[in-house]
Amino acid sequence: MILKLNTKIALVSLLTLFLTSKAFSQQVPLIPLPNKYAKGEGSFTLSSNTPIILNDQSLRASAAFLQQELLKHTGITLSVQQKASAPAIVLSHLKTAYTVPGSYQLKVSPDEIRLVSGTEEGLFNGLNSLLQLARTAPSKGGEITLAAWDITDSPKYEWRGLMLDESRQFFGKETVKFLIDWMAFYKLNRFHWHLTDEPGWRLEIKKYPKLTLVGGIGNHIDPTATAKYYTQEDVKDIIAYAADRFITVIPEIDMPGHAAAANKAYPEFSGGGSEKYPDFTFHPAKKATYDYLTNILKETNVLFPSGMVHLGGDEVHFGNEQWSKDNEVQSLMSDKKLGDLKAVEEYFIQRMADSLAKINSKVLLWDEAASSKLSPANTIIFWWRHDKPEQLALALSKKFPVVITPRLPLYFDFVQDSSQRVGRRWEGGFNPVDRVYNFSPSKLHTPGQASLIKGIQAALWTERIPTITKLEHMLFPRISALAESAWTNDVNKNYEQFESRLVGHLELFRKDKIYFFNPFNISENPEPFVAGQKDN
C-alpha cells in the first residue's frame, strides 16, 4: 500500500514538473510579459540577409533604431529594401490599428516578422519586444532562430516611471543615457529627474548662475566636492535622446523645503531651517522669493517640453521652525488668515502652482500636497509614504490623478536581501525583487477610482548610492520587476514564471557588464562598498 502511494506521489510530481515545464516553454520570453500572446508553429531565421520593409517612409527612424541595436548586440546587419528578397521584417504604421498609446501587434512566423501599430510609440515598444526576442534566442553562425509568436499587447498603466536623485550624487550624462536605454528596453516611459535638494543644485539657470557655480558644490558624502551640474545644452541632449525612445523627462525643482543648496547660492531667499537642517526652506513671505522661483520655473519649463514640473513639497516640517519666529511670516499668517505652518506651506505651493499654470505647465507634488486646494485638472500627486494610506485616500477622494511610488516596495535605495549591509530598511522591511514584482496598486483603491491611478514609479534616492557600480547593483534586476508591474495586467502575472524569464535577462546584464544583484546567487556580484561608507 505504501509502495503504491509513493508511486502515485512520484507520478503526480513528474506530471506537475512536465506541465510546469510545458507552461514555461509556452511563455514568450519577454519582460514585461505581453498581455496577450500565443505560440506559433515553426521559427524565423534572422540574419544579415533579412531585409526590413516599410509601409511608410516615416518609419525610417524606427528602422534605423532596429538596425543600430541589432548590430550592437548581435552583430547582425540589416538593410532597408523596397521589396522583400527573402523572409523580411515588415514595419507597418496603420492609423486605425492598435491606437491605444503604446500598443502594438508583433507576429513572428517562418515567412516574415510583421510589426503593426497605430502610433510610433507602439511601434517602438514592438521593436523592443523584437530586440528582446533576438537577444535571448539561440544563435549560431550569424543566424538567430526566433520561435514563432503572435503578440497583441498594450500597457496596463500610462505612467511607467523611474526617478533618479542627482542632487545627492551626480552621475553625469552617460549614466543618464544608460538608464534611459534600459528604461526603453523595458517599456518604461517617464524619467523623473530630481535635480535640486540640500546637497547640490544640478540644473543650469542662466538668470541665476550661482545656483550651479555655488549651489552645485558638494554631494551627500563630501560637501566640498567640485561643483557638478548639467548645462542647458546637456539637458537638451538628454531630452532629445529620451524623446527618440518615447520617454518623457520631468524635472523636479524641490520647494519650499530641501532648498539648502539654492540658499547657499542666494541666501536672501532663505526662510531658515533647524539645527539639523539649516537653511532648509525658501522664505514664504517675501514677494522677491516668488519672483525668483517663478523665473527659475519659466526657464525650466522652456527647457523641458514635457509640460510638467515636479515641485517636491515634501518634508517641509523638517526645517520650517524659523517661520514661527519670523516677523514677515507672522504678518503673512495674520493677513491671509493662515492658522498654522502647514497652511503657510500650502499657501506657498498654491502660489507656485499658479505660476506654473500661467506658463501652461502641470504641477506635480509629493503626497503632502493631498490636503491642498490645488486644481485636480492641473495637478498630479505622488503617493510615497506607504505608512500613510490616508494620504492616498485623501488624494483620490479629491479626484487628484495619482502616481503610486511607495517606499515599500518601490524605493530602490532599500536593500534587496537581508544580508546586505548598506541600504535602507523600514521597521525591518526591505524591497526584494519578488515584492517589487507582486506589488499591485489595484489593492489600494476602489474600482471607481481606477481611472485616477496614472501608474507606478520606482525611486533611486542616492544617499547610499555613491558609485555607478552601486547604482547598477541596486537597480538591476528590480527594474525588470518594476517594468512588469507597470505593464502587465495582474491576472497575467506569475512570479515563478517571471523568474524563469529573468534568468535569460541576467545573461543580458552579464554581456553588457552590468554589476547586477543576482537573486538566485547573491555571491556572484557581492554588495559593493566604498571605503568609509556608512549606512546613513
Q: Residue 85: pLDDT band by 50, 70, 90 thresholds? A: confident
CB 413 within 8 A of CB 433: no
Task: Identify the residue with better confidence: 338 or 535.
Answer: 338
Q: Distance (Å, rounded) from C-alpha 289 to C-alpha 43?
A: 64
> What is each CA distance from 233 to 230, 242, 344, in whole angstroms?
8, 14, 36
Output DSSP code: residue 286: -
Quick one: 125 and 173 in the same domain? no
Closest alpha carbon to 267 in 254, 280, 253: 280
Closest alpha carbon to 45 in 130, 150, 139, 127: 139
Quick one: 164 and 283 in the same domain? yes
State the alpha helices, DSSP H only, in 304-401: 327-335, 341-358, 389-397
Looking at the domain assignment, is residue 515 inside a domain? Answer: no
Q: Residue 26: pLDDT band by 50, 70, 90 thresholds? A: confident
- pLDDT > 80? residue 18: no
State the alpha helices, DSSP H only, in 44-143: 60-74, 120-136
CB 192 within 8 A of CB 161: yes
Looking at the domain assignment, is residue 105 inside a domain? Answer: yes
Quick one: 390 and 470 in the same domain? yes
Looking at the domain assignment, is residue 499 inside a domain? Answer: no
Quick one: 185 and 59 in the same domain? no
Phi and psi dihedrals of 509, rounded to 5? -60, -40
Phi and psi dihedrals of 447, rounded to 5? -55, -35
Strand partners for 359: none
Q: Distance (Å, rounded) from C-alpha 53 to C-alpha 174?
A: 33
Distance, first Cα to last Cα, the chain: 62
Mean pLDDT of 4-24: 46
pLDDT, residue 534, reads 62
The last residue of a domain, from among 105, 138, 153? 153
Closest alpha carbon to 517 in 486, 485, 479, 483: 479
Say which CATH number the domain at 384 has.
Answer: 3.20.20.80
The last residue of a domain, from among 471, 488, 505? 488
Mean pLDDT of 353-358: 98
Please give the model's pTM, rounded to 2 decimal places: 0.94
Quick one: 304 and 436 in the same domain? yes
Mean pLDDT of 467-471: 98
The last residue of a domain, from among 488, 510, 529? 488
Residues 6+ away with beta carbon under 8 Å from 466:
169, 219, 220, 221, 530, 533
Looking at the domain assignment, is residue 504 inside a domain? Answer: no
Looking at the domain assignment, is residue 417 inside a domain? Answer: yes
CB 284 within 8 A of CB 270: no
**Structural domain containing residue 462:** 159-488
Mean pLDDT of 265-291: 98
Active site residues: 315
The four Cα atoms 483, 486, 492, 494 give a dihedral, to 10 degrees, of 50
Rounded to the nearest integer, the mean pLDDT of the chain is: 94
CB 349 within 8 A of CB 311: yes
pLDDT, residue 247, reads 99
- pLDDT > 90? residue 484: yes
Q: Distance (Å, rounded) from C-alpha 363 to C-alpha 138?
A: 47
pLDDT digits (tens, 9 = 90+) for 59-80: 999 999 999 999 999 999 999 9
Looking at the domain assignment, is residue 514 inside a domain? Answer: no
Quick one: 127 and 218 in the same domain? no
Q: Residue 17: pLDDT band by 50, 70, 90 thresholds? A: very low
- pLDDT > 70? residue 405: yes
Q: Residue 82: pLDDT band by 50, 70, 90 thresholds? A: confident
Q: Residue 531: pLDDT band by 50, 70, 90 thresholds? A: low
- pLDDT > 50? residue 11: no
Quick one: 297 and 370 in the same domain? yes
Q: Residue 21: pLDDT band by 50, 70, 90 thresholds? A: very low
Closest alpha carbon to 29 in 489, 435, 499, 510: 499
Closest alpha carbon to 415 in 479, 473, 483: 473
Q: Hey, CA dihedral for 348, 354, 359, 365, is it positive or negative?
A: positive
Closest alpha carbon to 266 in 228, 226, 213: 213
> What is each CA distance from 59 to 56, 63, 190, 284, in whole angstroms?
6, 6, 23, 50
Say which CATH number the domain at 136 has.
Answer: 3.30.379.10
The four Cα atoms 63, 65, 67, 71 give a dihedral, to 10 degrees, of -170
pLDDT, residue 3, reads 47
pLDDT, residue 107, reads 98
Q: Residue 84: pLDDT band by 50, 70, 90 thresholds? A: confident
pLDDT digits (tens, 9 = 90+) for 231-255: 999 999 999 999 999 999 999 999 9
Helix (H) or strand (E) holding 153: strand 143-153
- Crossing angle of helices 341-358 and 327-335, in 10° steps, is 80
Strand partners for 139: 144
Quick one: 64 and 177 in the same domain? no
Burial (0-12, 13-18, 19+ Cβ within 10 Å), 35 = middle
- pLDDT > 80? residue 8: no
pLDDT, residue 533, reads 64
pLDDT digits (tens, 9 = 90+) for 148-200: 999 999 999 999 999 999 999 999 999 999 999 999 999 999 999 999 999 99
Q: Hey, CA dihedral for 21, 22, 27, 30, is it positive or negative?
A: positive
Q: Residue 532: pLDDT band by 50, 70, 90 thresholds? A: low
Closest alpha carbon to 130 in 82, 65, 201, 54: 65
Dihedral class, residue 187 (left if φ above 0, else alpha if ψ from -120 to 50, else beta): left
Mean pLDDT of 457-479: 98
Cell numbers for 436: 517589487
Q: Name the domain count of the chain.
A: 2
Looking at the domain assignment, is residue 521 inside a domain? Answer: no
Quick one: 208 and 132 in the same domain? no
CB 269 within 8 A of CB 291: no
Quick one: 148 and 164 in the same domain? no
State the alpha helices, DSSP H only, in 280-386: 287-303, 327-335, 341-358
Quick one: 234 and 138 in the same domain? no
Q: Distance (Å, rounded) from C-alpha 382 to C-alpha 392?
A: 9
Output DSSP code: residue 318: G
CB 271 within 8 A of CB 288: no
> Where is average pLDDT lowest: 213-222, 399-408, 522-531?
522-531
Looking at the domain assignment, is residue 23 inside a domain? Answer: no
Quick one: 475 and 397 in the same domain? yes
Burial (0-12, 13-18, 19+ Cβ within 10 Å), 455 = buried
- pLDDT > 90? residue 4: no
Q: List the Cα angle 163/388/448 in 5-degree steps.
A: 85
